[in-house]
């Protein structure tokens, strides 16, 4: 076990190395859909070198290396050992989180991790402890926090909204991928709530600046059970109570018709309401007879990745550290537990 002094030294060392970085050497673990979006963005940053890519399907890493430069690996352990990375984007499916974050932490490699951060709370807390020990910079891909419209609406809500009474959100979408996709299997993805609606669960915490104290949930499991290889919930209703006493409901389904999809939220506070607008990133603030539409002027994914790289260069903790991923995961797992047992679940479920 490290002493307090040794731990401080490690943290100072990580911060000193960060301060010396001119071009951030980035690697990837997982070269699928979301990794491509990040790599496209990072390839346009002049202070980033896309140094290496790894994927269990090595041909995917090779395709990335051909497109963005850098070397390709089938084994991320070899990549982490050989490449002298400053930062690593971990873009793997939920079931695949094993030791990637911990190996990065042990080498002082800062990490950007896609949501959900794991499939179990035990794994997430193990990683949380490792990244805390190492003092590395961490960020989780809750991209809504980097949409100007969401951030401005949050400031207005927290500054002059008064007491929050109700948070509502809904993810009325479709089934991701084809019959062989990991998304359809609970043991691989965690289900729609854990994998996808987690964005709205994070929003429920961040937008209201409140913590969830209790969760009750109900799952519908018949609607889509005829689909091949499908064993996740077809629909879910989650009811939450915040520590402040405010209440929330989050509903999801992956049975929507293509033209019937809708993802949104609404917060009702004493003095105003904040709610999603007509386009993906727009947010409306309603106060009495007035209503103001807030939009974004920059792509939130680009703002998000820029924030991480800036934090790495400055040796500064990001605004969405790994802990935030653990908290969102805990709420979604509490909902799964409640749906299974028929009982409400009180939080926190673990000490961390
Ligand atoms: N923030 C967002 O808006 C957003 C959007 C899409 C996906 N995601 C998240 O990103 C993660 C990945 O999703 P995706 O859509 O890119 O999935 P994907 O299936 O398209 O890609 C995952 C890649 O990881 C590789 N992989 C699997 N296990 C691996 C391992 N042990 N080591 C290295 N590579 C491994 C696969 O071969 C595949 O190429 C998921 O957790 C998902 O929830 C986030």
Write out the E strands in the chain.
Answer: 24-29, 48-54, 71-73, 87-90, 110-113, 138-140, 164-172, 212-220, 235-242, 247-253, 262-269, 273-276, 283-287, 290-294, 345-346
Euclidean distance between CA atoms 255 and 195, whole angstroms: 16
Q: Which CATH class is domain 4-142+304-321?
A: alpha beta
Go through 206-218 and write b for each residue having 16 or more CB atoms within 10 A of its CB, e for each that does not: bbbebebebbbbe
Distance CA 332, CA 124 (A): 13
Distances 203 to 38, 133, 142, 170 between C-alpha atoms, Å: 21, 28, 8, 11
Q: What is the atom index within ligand 1 of the atom nearest the CA of 182? A: 19
Among candidate residues 208, 295, 221, 292, the one with its CA nearest the CA of residue 252:
221
For residue 32, report the distance from its CA to the centre of ligand 1, in Å: 5
CATH number for the region 144-296+329-346 comes to 3.30.360.10
Q: Is the CB of 109 under 6 A from ligand 1?
A: no
Domain 4-142+304-321 identical in fold to domain 144-296+329-346:
no
Q: Would you list the domain boundaries of the chain?
A: 4-142+304-321, 144-296+329-346
Q: Is 202 in the pocket of ligand 1 (CB under 6 A)?
A: no
Length of the chain: 352
Bridge partners of residue 71, in order along the sequence: 52
| Burial tier of 337 (Cβ tally within 10 Å: 0-12, 13-18, 19+) | middle
Q: Kindly give the confidence (pLDDT) of every residue in the chain, 352 residues in length, as a single tens digit, with 9 standing for 90 and above.
A: 445 555 566 656 666 666 567 899 999 999 999 999 999 999 999 999 999 999 999 999 999 999 999 999 999 999 999 999 999 999 999 999 999 999 999 999 999 999 999 999 999 999 999 999 999 999 999 999 999 999 999 999 999 999 999 999 999 999 999 999 999 999 999 999 999 999 999 999 999 999 999 999 999 999 999 999 999 999 999 999 999 999 999 999 999 999 999 999 999 999 999 999 999 999 999 999 999 999 999 999 999 999 999 999 999 999 999 999 999 999 999 999 999 999 999 999 999 9
What pTM, to 2 d.p., does this model score?
0.95
Q: Is the CB of 91 under 6 A from ligand 1?
A: yes
């Amino acid at each position: 076990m490290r002493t307090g002094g040794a731990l401080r030294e490690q943290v100072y060392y990580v911060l000193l190395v960060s301060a010396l970085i001119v071009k951030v050497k980035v690697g990837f673990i997982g070269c699928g859909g979301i990794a491509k979006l990040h790599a496209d963005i990072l390839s346009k940053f002049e202070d980033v070198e896309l140094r290496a890519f790894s994927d269990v399907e090595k041909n995917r890493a090779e395709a990335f290396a051909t497109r963005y430069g850098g070397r390709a690996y089938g084994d991320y352990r070899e990549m982490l050992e050989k490449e002298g990375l400053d930062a690593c984007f971990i873009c793997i499916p939920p079931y695949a989180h094993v030791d990637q974050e911990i190996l990065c932490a042990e080498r002082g490699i800062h990490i950007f991790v896609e949501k959900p951060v794991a499939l179990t709370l035990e794994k997430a807390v193990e990683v949380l402890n490792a990244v805390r020990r190492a003092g590395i910079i961490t960020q989780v891909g809750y991209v809504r926090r980097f949409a100007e419209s969401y951030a401005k609406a949050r400031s207005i809500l927290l500054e002059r909204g008064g007491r929050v009474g109700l948070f509502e959100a809904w993810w009325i979408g479709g089934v991701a991928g084809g019959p062989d996709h990991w998304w359809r299997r609970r043991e691989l993805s965690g289900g729609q709530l854990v994998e996808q609606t987690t964005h709205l669960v994070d929003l429920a915490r961040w937008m209201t600046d409140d913590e969830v104290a209790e969760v009750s949930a109900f799952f519908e499991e018949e609607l889509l059970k005829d689909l091949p290889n499908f064993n996740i919930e077809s629909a879910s209703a989650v009811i939450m109570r915040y520590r402040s006493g405010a209440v929330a409901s989050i509903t999801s389904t992956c049975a929507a018709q293509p033209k019937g999809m809708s993802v949104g939220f609404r917060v009702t506070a004493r003095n105003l309401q904040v709610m999603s607008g007509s386009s993906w990133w727009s947010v409306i603030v309603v106060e009495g007879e007035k209503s103001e539409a807030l939009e974004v002027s920059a792509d939130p994914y680009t703002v998000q990745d820029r924030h991480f790289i800036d934090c790495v260069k400055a040796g500064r903790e990001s605004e969405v550290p790994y802990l935030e991923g653990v908290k969102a995961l805990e709420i979604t797992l509490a909902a799964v537990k409640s749906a299974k047992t028929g009982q409400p679940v009180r939080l926190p479920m673990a000490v961390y």
